[in-house]
């Protein structure tokens, strides 16, 4: 049995990728091993990061430090041939090994890179249209106003394609939502409105995958999402540099959005929303930006 949907690290066989079994064998040879060492400067760290997270979830490896792993007892038995988990060409069948559930974003066909660009461009157009009343602003850092439109549309397509292609389809929905918003917000592909773009596109994915319906208050009340965005900008300021080799890494920005979506989808209390006013959060953001 094989997975019902492709996983990104299974789409490019050869020296630029490692199968799940090959990762276990590499760890066995070194006792403990890091994502950086596995990549050998030619393999995608983001893909290896996803693989190791899943290998840990099925109990074959154990985390010993920041992106540092060793074999578990079960993993050692797999390498030694004593245990034979379901697999195909060295890749484990995660559908049978993990209790995935159905409440997840699996179908990414509801958005593509052109959709994401168009949504952001629509926000830009609305803020420039004198006939449309908008509370939002859109700032473009160009000297010539005639170049604003080109700047908004200049985001590199491959970046958005990669985010869609590598999206973690086997994570719980809360984690998926946090990853989507964190990635678009932190990589900041557009001059402005990255939070709004992330939420609109995520809403499409959630409705398309029948996780919420069109009557759901998405992405929360104005007060809730307003506070969440201010907190997001605060955390992003602490981690301003983002490279694609760090894609899907879980930092404080990710955990902020994880807690927000736990609150939004499952009504789990998020103290940061309840204990701060919007004005207090604006002051905190202003202070950290002025340092």
Q: Give the Cα separation of 26 and 145 in Å (integer).
A: 54
Residue 32: give its domain's CATH number.
1.10.10.10
The conformational region for residue 101 under phi > 0 = left, psi -120 to 50 = alpha, else beta, is: left
DSSP 14: S
Q: Which residues, 6 or more positions from 122, have their beta carbon under 8 angstroms from its beta carbon? A: none
- Residues 91 and 153 grouped into a single domain: no
| DSSP E strands, the chain | 32-34, 61-65, 68-71, 87-88, 91-92
Strand, coil or helix: what is 248? coil
Examine the fold and report which residue of 64, 97, 130 is the final residue of a domain before the chain moves on. 97
Examine the fold and report which residue of 55, 71, 97 is the final residue of a domain before the chain moves on. 97
Categorize the per-residue pLDDT at 234 as very low, low, confident or very high, splitting at 50, 70 and 90: very high
Q: Are 194 and 183 in contact (CB under 8 A)?
A: no
In a domain, 18, yes or no: yes
Examine the fold and report which residue of 49, 70, 97 is the final residue of a domain before the chain moves on. 97
Residue 2 has pLDDT above 60, yes or no: no
- Residues 48 and 174 grouped into a single domain: no
Q: What pLDDT, on a 0 to 100 scale, did the predictor assign at position 14?
A: 57
The pLDDT tens digits for 128-186 are: 888 777 777 898 887 777 788 888 888 888 989 989 988 988 889 999 999 999 999 99
- Residues 241 and 195 grouped into a single domain: yes
Q: What pLDDT, on a 0 to 100 scale, did the predictor assign at position 1?
A: 30
Q: Give the Cα separation of 291 and 278 in Å (integer).
A: 21
Q: Which residues, 6 or more positions from 176, have their beta carbon under 8 angstroms from its beta carbon? A: 104, 105, 167, 168, 169
Q: What pLDDT, on a 0 to 100 scale, did the predictor assign at position 223?
A: 95
Please state, as a whole number, how many other Cβ atoms lie within 10 Å of the Cβ of residue 250: 14
In a domain, 191, yes or no: yes
- Per the structure, the complete domain to which residue 92 belongs is given by 8-97
- Residues 203 and 90 grouped into a single domain: no
Residue 79 has pLDDT above 90, yes or no: yes
In a domain, 246, yes or no: yes
Which one has a higher pLDDT value, 141 or 189? 189
In a domain, 231, yes or no: yes
Q: What pLDDT, on a 0 to 100 scale, did the predictor assign at position 3?
A: 44
- Residues 91 and 132 grouped into a single domain: no
- Residues 136 and 275 grouped into a single domain: yes
- Residues 138 and 280 grouped into a single domain: yes
Q: Which residues, 6 or more positions from 194, have their beta carbon under 8 angstroms from its beta carbon? A: 120, 184, 185, 188
On average, the pLDDT of the chain sits at 89
Q: Give the Cα separation of 284 and 138 in Å (integer).
A: 22
In a domain, 105, yes or no: no
The pLDDT tens digits for 10-68 are: 655 556 789 999 999 999 999 899 999 999 877 888 889 889 988 999 999 999 998 89
Residue 108: both structure tokens together: 């990414």
Q: Which of 189, 166, 192, 167 is nearest to 178 (CA)?
A: 167
Q: Give the Cα separation of 72 and 60 in Å (integer).
A: 5
Residue 5 has pLDDT above 80, yes or no: no
- Residues 231 and 138 grouped into a single domain: yes
- Residues 61 and 118 grouped into a single domain: no
- Residues 70 and 188 grouped into a single domain: no
Q: How large a percentage of the chain has pLDDT more than 90?
A: 62
In a domain, 219, yes or no: yes
Which one has a higher pLDDT value, 259 or 158? 259
Which helix H or strand E contains 233, and what residues bound it? Answer: helix 222-238
In a domain, 235, yes or no: yes
Q: How far apart are the first and last CA of the chain?
A: 55
SS3 for 135-192, per residue? CCCCCCCCCCHHHHHHHHCCCCHHHHHHHHHCCCCCCCHHHHHHHHHHHHHHHCCCCC
- Residues 132 and 269 grouped into a single domain: yes
Residue 204 has pLDDT above 60, yes or no: yes
Residue 117 has pLDDT above 70, yes or no: yes
- Residues 63 and 127 grouped into a single domain: no
In a domain, 108, yes or no: no
Please state, as a whole number, how many other Cβ atoms lie within 10 Å of the Cβ of residue 176: 24
Domain total in the chain: 2
Angle 98-11-107 (CA atoms, 0-180°, nearest 5)?
60
């Amino acid at each position: 049995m094989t997975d019902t949907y492709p996983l990104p690290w299974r789409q490019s066989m050869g020296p630029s990728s490692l199968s799940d079994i090959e990762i276990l064998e590499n760890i066995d040879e070194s006792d403990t091993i890091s994502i950086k060492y596995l990549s050998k400067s030619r393999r995608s760290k983001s893909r290896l990061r996803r693989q190791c997270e899943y290998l840990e979830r099925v109990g074959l490896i154990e985390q010993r430090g920041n992106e540092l792993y060793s074999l578990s007892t079960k993993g050692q038995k797999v390498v030694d041939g004593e245990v034979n988990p379901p697999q195909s060409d060295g890749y484990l069948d995660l559908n049978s090994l993990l209790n995935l559930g159905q409440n997840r974003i699996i179908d990414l066909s509801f958005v593509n890179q052109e959709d994401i660009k168009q949504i952001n461009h629509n926000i830009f157009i609305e803020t420039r249209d004198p006939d449309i009343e908008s509370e939002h602003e859109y700032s473009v850092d160009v000297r010539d106003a005639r170049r604003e439109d080109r700047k908004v549309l200049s985001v590199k397509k491959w970046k958005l394609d990669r985010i869609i292609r590598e999206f973690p389809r086997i994570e719980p929905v809360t984690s998926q939502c946090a990853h989507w918003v964190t990635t678009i917000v932190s990589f900041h592909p557009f001059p402005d409105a990255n939070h709004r773009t992330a939420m609109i596109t995520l809403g499409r994915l959630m409705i398309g995958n029948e996780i919420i319906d069109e009557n759901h208050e998405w992405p929360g009340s104005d007060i809730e999402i307003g506070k969440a965005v201010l907190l997001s900008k605060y955390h992003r300021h602490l981690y301003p540099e983002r490279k694609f080799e760090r894609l899907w890494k879980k930092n404080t920005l990710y955990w902020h959005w994880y807690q927000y979506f736990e609150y939004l989808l499952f009504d789990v209390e998020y103290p940061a929303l309840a204990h701060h006013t919007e004005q207090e959060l604006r002051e905190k953001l202003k202070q950290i930006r002025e340092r």
